[in-house]
């Protein structure tokens, strides 16, 4: 059996420890970069690469109608109403929308109401720079039977429409969900 000088022995021990630590660190880094096992149940949470829409709608379905209270910057509160449905009737100053579950809401239309209409030819949504652009519309462009997504501010029993988006894109995306 060979004998080593004390300085050489300490060097070999230190080198062995350094190799062991380096190897352990490399294994830890490698393990941290490997994908985890595939989820085995349908209730698993989507990973970071899952589409955001799947995370938002997981287990809940698509919203049909609802209302929520928003605290504004000045400290006051505002009740916001949202609804997806079909226009039942429309005039220059109001629209009544009915959702597929039978919920019906009348919305007041005023000068602040923003109206957009998705064209039947979706290629018309491009504005020349490659970015989608919804064309503005007026209340005269809306008719009974149009599919809409509408939001408004509730004050007592009245709801003033703030935004109306009409068009068949809503129906198409719903069918593919």
Judge: domain 63-176, CATH 2.40.50.320. yes
Collapsing DSSP states into helix, strand and coil, what is residue 68? strand
More confident residue, 76 or 49: 76
More confident residue, 60 or 69: 69
Judge if pTM exceeds 0.85. no
Contacts of 160 (CB under 8 A, 6+ apart): 107, 108, 110, 112, 113, 152, 153
Residue 71 CA from chain centroid, whole number: 21
Residue 139 has pLDDT above 80, yes or no: yes
- The pLDDT of 60-79, averaged and rounded, is 92
- The pLDDT of 159-167, averaged and rounded, is 95
- The pLDDT, as a whole number, for residue 24 is 53
pLDDT digits (tens, 9 = 90+) for 80-136: 999 999 999 999 999 999 999 999 999 999 999 999 988 776 666 665 666 666 778
Q: Give, as one character, the DSSP assignment of residue 171.
A: H
More confident residue, 63 or 107: 107
């Amino acid at each position: 059996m060979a004998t080593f000088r004390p300085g050489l022995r300490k060097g070999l021990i230190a080198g062995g420890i350094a190799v062991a630590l380096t190897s352990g660190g490399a294994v830890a880094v490698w393990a941290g970069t490997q994908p985890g096992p595939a989820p085995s149940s349908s209730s698993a949470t989507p990973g970071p690469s899952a589409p955001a829409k799947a995370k938002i709608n997981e287990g809940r379905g698509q919203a049909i109608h609802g209302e929520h209270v928003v605290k504004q910057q000045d400290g006051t509160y505002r009740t916001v109403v949202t609804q997806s449905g079909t226009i039942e009737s429309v005039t220059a100053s109001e629209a009544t929308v009915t959702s597929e579950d039978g919920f019906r809401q009348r919305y007041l239309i005023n000068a602040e109401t923003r109206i957009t209409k998705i064209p039947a030819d979706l290629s018309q949504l491009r504005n020349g720079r490659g970015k989608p652009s919804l064309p503005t519309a007026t209340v005269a462009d809306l008719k009974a039977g149009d599919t809409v997504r509408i939001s408004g501010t509730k004050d007592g029993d009245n709801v003033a429409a703030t935004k109306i988006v009409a068009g068949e894109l809503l129906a198409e995306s719903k069918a593919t969900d």
